[in-house]
């Protein structure tokens, strides 16, 4: 499966290399990941992928080259965006796709709700119920945001910090620990909604509170990335 994902990422990149576009190239992740327990059951979450898809659509319409990596999402994408999408299922598959595209990208926006844990052993077939209980041993997935920052130091990297409520302190600590460009703190109330309340946190300590649509927030994020990009190339 990893070889197939790598080939798909490289194919999308190669299709766009002939385009004479000088704007920064953008890698976006979106949606949940599913961690299979057996052939029937999985560990997942309620992320819809709407935020990442809004970003990809806005970036494409603004003539950026994009690669969109999504976990299992139910949203039907416009054909233009579908042609830039790589579909993955698990956190490990998403990590493979991100690593493949990372050298190509100038800007990386990680909106995906990646599972923190996966079953240590995936069972082939279906686990049948018994009279007793069942224990499931979970192991940590890679922290993709942390891992990619160790792979590159010259990219603009944007993260999201999801909590039950907007938690600025936790988001700020993630911003510092992961050493990313800026981070957006949001809450679980945004799941499956086109509306979002969020706070954008920058390294300088600046806070920008937002309430509106995900399309509107996408435009703000992309404009902020553009400002950082201009600053980086003129510093």
- How many beta carbons lie within 10 A of that of residue 73, not counting itself? 19
**Residue 202, strand partner residues:** 182
Burial 150-172 (b: 16+ CB within 10 A, else e): eeeeebbbbbbbbeeebbeeebb
CA-derived radius of gyration, the chain: 18
Catalytic one of 2, 10, 45, 179:
45
Neighbouring residues of 20: CB distance < 8 A, sequence distance ≥ 6? none
Tell me if residue 223 is catalytic.
no
- Coil/strand/helix, residue 138: strand
Residue 76, classified by CB atoms within 10 Å of its CB into exposed (0-12), middle (13-18) or buried (19+), is exposed
In angstroms, what CA-CA distances link 71 with 110, 114, 123?
12, 9, 21
Which residues are known catalytic residues?
45
């Amino acid at each position: 499966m990893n070889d197939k994902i790598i080939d798909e990422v490289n194919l999308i990149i190669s299709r766009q290399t002939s385009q004479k576009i000088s704007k920064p190239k953008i890698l976006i992740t979106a949606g949940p990941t599913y961690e299979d327990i057996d052939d029937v059951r999985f560990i997942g979450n309620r992320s819809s992928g709407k935020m990442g898809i809004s970003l990809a659509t806005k970036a494409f319409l603004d003539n950026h080259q994009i690669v969109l990596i999504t976990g299992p999402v139910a949203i039907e994408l416009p054909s233009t965006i579908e042609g830039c999408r790589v579909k993955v299922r698990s956190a490990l598959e998403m990590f493979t796709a991100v690593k493949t595209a990372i050298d190509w990208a100038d800007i990386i926006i990680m909106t995906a709700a990646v599972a923190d844990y996966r079953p240590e052993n995936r069972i082939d077939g279906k686990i049948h119920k018994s009279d007793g209980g069942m224990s499931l041993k979970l192991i940590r997935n890679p922290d993709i945001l942390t891992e990619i920052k160790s792979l590159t130091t010259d990219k603009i990297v944007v993260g999201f910090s999801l909590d039950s409520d907007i938690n600025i302190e936790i988001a700020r600590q993630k911003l510092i620990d992961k050493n990313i460009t800026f981070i957006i703190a949001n809450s679980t109330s945004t799941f499956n909604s086109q509306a979002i309340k969020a706070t954008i946190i920058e390294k300088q300590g600046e806070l920008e509170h937002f309430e509106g649509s995900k399309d509107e927030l996408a435009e703000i994020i992309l404009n902020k990335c553009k400002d950082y990009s201009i600053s980086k190339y003129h510093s």
